[in-house]
Chains A and B, each alone.
Chain A
């Protein structure tokens, strides 16, 4: 009996989910008989099963709901939002009863006469008042026949509901005309087998459904997980056998082994597919949410779903369910304007939210776009300043899109008051965290007045990922390929060279200076051997790009990610461990963890000096600073992150245009500035230059020498009133001036060049 009840709970919960979706669809297009047939059948099955299992309360509620649905179907009742809301309420109530049933193991005590009364009122209200008895009469004997004890109670409730209600609604002629058809639902409960009668209700739908039911079975998730583990093991054994075969001279095993190999691969494929579920399962609740929001707020919103059949791993599916719900709610609640507002803005009164999923290159992309008001950049800007996420000066250098990204920041959106001000972005940091946790990425784009678009990229499956196998200090590690954007070989035979500034390794990668993390040093496996060629995995975490230095790179392998044992879980560098094809166990590195612990994670990306300058009260994390000397013996520092490149030019190549020093740099003129007035320009030799980028234009600051890159927590000890200087701080034990690089860059661009400063080919 218990098993039966469990099955009933699972099945019914599933049916209720479908009901939600179907009802909302139906409300939109009430002429679709197939949908109604589905709805009616689902509700009927619930009722029938409840009766079968002896659950009178549930049965009564379901019966009342079914009654109304029956009348919809027979055209006796017009489909009104009120009626649909009531049916949804009925479904919610059933859900609640089910939850109680699940918790207690038996149906809770109590009565649902209120709700049933309401539902019956709807069912009966619009029939001509003398007519009400028929459904009762029609039903009562049937129940009696079937021996259900509930019938009497139900009838009493029906009668009770009928008493006061009939006058509330105007009797409609067509309902009256249709009422002779009342007995139609009557045959339904007749049959003792609860499912069978549905055939009579909607022959077409039922035929399709039963075909479906015959072709699918319900399997416990554990069974599949177990199977997955076994398959991985089988694959390993297969690989070992293949290895042995290669060493053998005789070829007698070759053919059967190949066959085994082939079958194993197919088996692996099949089981992987078994874990896949259409993404539509994660969407099932969304139409209902949007509908409820519409009713509440009086907005008109159409939810368009595309690619619901796109399949992905059920584990991933679970993880994105909540973020998706959250984002849709955001779009509907904050993004879409009221119908009046939309008309005033020259848009159709009905807003559109489009939810789209598709496969592309081993990833699933989910795009959520609305045609609402878009994000308010000005508000986000104000909020970012108020929350101390960025300074006015920093914001001034950012593009609108960059500013919009603040909604993903923790602290930006969690506080309630922030919500009311920004109006958007509640918990977007949580969304981002969830998406990143499953190795995905999220992008956002918003145009004021035109709408907002989110693009989520997630791996197909969590269980099997494509990983790059690398080696450091004789030990192999796996790096998920999704985290590696580029592979660079550094050494004698390559143009790339690892340079160190003091002990901080960096790599010049095209137009940027890439900070490097040595895996050896990171994992405490000794110092890097600088004589050897090494490989750099260029990895991106959020907006932070960095390189991981390893000794060797092997090929890529599909690996089954297994979580590490609890004892090892404290270590942020590992995303898990796995068994390779040759049977060896290796650790999977987590670039997110590496970036975070290397201290240069996204959270610390804020411009160091500005951060230190405005927020002594905050615990500024360690930041990377570029130390240099210019004009005097004192050390000066700028945030390393702000520096685009370090270049050396021939002093002789510095030219003057309009009284300003410039240098020809990458086919453009790059203005040069000195930090101190009365700088004496070098006549010959090499001139080191720090190159800063602003809006794609380059600006060079001449320095005497680049000293070091230091990582330190920066607290400004002495503030400065001098322009262009934030103050002085102790950096790695030395007093250092912190240069306000924003100031220099901005002053230079605005003062000397104005709008389109870069005029290619103007050089003398």
Chain B
């Protein structure tokens, strides 16, 4: 990757767990991530919000699975293989973000953070906290709280 991407966290650097959804490249601060897992069986919640894929059992805790595709209106998943989950915590509750694949943990310099482009989908503007130029790709960083604020969206 480029020289902006470093492996050690230093001054002005933030570490992100990166993941991909429908060819887009996202990151959430590593400090927010509790766990990364491959979901086994997801129990559906009838009549739940569309973004809530269901519930999983994470070592005795019930964790709500949020489908990032649905959340960001990226359409139905076309991959049949196992998907990954990035577990985050918010107000004492555990949520896990269902994504296509999980990448490396990268440390990015805050100076590389660009504000959301004005033309970005309003839905994305709401949940994205900025865009990083990470080498040859663009990394959209997500605000976990706003990503989980599903009812507020309605």
Contact = CB atoms under 8 A, between A and B. Distances in A.
A574 B148 CA distance: 20
B88 interface: no
B121 interface: no
A567 B43 contact: no
Contact of A579 (B44, B49, B52, B57): B57
Contacts of A525: 46
Given A523-B46, A567-B151, 11 more contacts: A229-B61, A232-B60, A475-B43, A475-B46, A524-B46, A524-B47, A566-B91, A567-B64, A567-B95, A579-B60, A587-B46
Interface of B: 41, 43-49, 52, 54-57, 59-62, 64, 91, 93, 95, 148, 150-151
Nearest to B95: A565
Contacts of A570: 151
B57 A567 contact: no
Interface residues of A, number: 26
Contact of A565 (B43, B46, B47, B64): B64
Contacts of A562: 62
A236 B60 contact: yes
Contact of B47 (A233, A236, A523, A584): A523
Contacts, number: 62
Grouping DSSP codes into helix (H, G, I), strand (E, B) and loop, the B interface class, with mixed when no group exceeds half, is mixed
7 contacts: A230-B60, A475-B44, A525-B46, A562-B62, A565-B95, A566-B91, A571-B47
A568 B48 contact: yes
A284 to B, nearest CB: 31
Interface in A552-574: 562, 565-568, 570-571, 573-574
A141 to B, nearest CB: 56
A585 interface: yes
A251 to B, nearest CB: 28
B64 A584 contact: no
B105 to A, nearest CB: 26
B153 to A, nearest CB: 11
Nearest to A229: B60
A586 interface: yes
Contacts of B55: 577, 585, 587
Contacts of A584: 41, 43, 57
A583 interface: yes
A573 B47 CA distance: 9
A300 B61 CA distance: 54
A577 B41 CA distance: 15
A562 B61 CA distance: 9
B44 to A, nearest CB: 6
Contact of B45 (A236, A583, A587): A587
A579 B62 contact: yes
A571 B48 contact: yes
Most A Cβ at <10 Å: residue of B41, B52, B55: B55
Nearest to A520: B46
A230 B59 CA distance: 10
Grouping DSSP codes into helix (H, G, I), strand (E, B) and loop, the A interface class, with mixed when no group exceeds half, is mixed
B82 to A, nearest CB: 18
Interface in A575-619: 577-579, 583-587
Interface of A: 229-230, 232-233, 236, 475, 523-525, 562, 565-568, 570-571, 573-574, 577-579, 583-587
A494 B48 CA distance: 35
A578 B95 CA distance: 16
Most A Cβ at <10 Å: residue of B48, B49, B56, B60: B60
B43 A585 contact: yes
Given A232-B60, A579-B57, A567 B47 contact: no
A523 B47 CA distance: 6
A583 B60 CA distance: 8
Contacts of A475: 43-44, 46
Give the 7 A-B CB pairs with smallest separation, nearest first. Answer: A233-B60, A523-B46, A585-B43, A565-B64, A585-B55, A585-B57, A579-B57
B88 to A, nearest CB: 12
Contacts of A574: 45
Contacts of B64: 565, 567-568
A584 B39 CA distance: 12
Nearest to A232: B60
B52 A568 contact: yes
Most A Cβ at <10 Å: residue of B45, B56, B91: B45
Contact of B43 (A524, A571, A586): A586
A373 B44 CA distance: 55
B41 A567 contact: no
B52 A567 contact: yes
Nearest to B61: A229
A605 to B, nearest CB: 25
B37 to A, nearest CB: 14
B47 A585 contact: no
A475 B41 CA distance: 12
A229 B58 CA distance: 12
Contacts of B44: 475
Contacts of A524: 46-47
Given A475-B44, A523-B46, A523-B47, A233 B59 contact: yes
Nearest to A474: B44
A114 to B, nearest CB: 46
A587 B93 contact: no
B151 to A, nearest CB: 7
Contacts of B48: 567-568, 571
A570 B47 CA distance: 10
Given A475-B44, A587-B43, A566 B93 contact: yes
Contacts of B62: 562, 565, 577-579, 585
Contacts of B148: 567
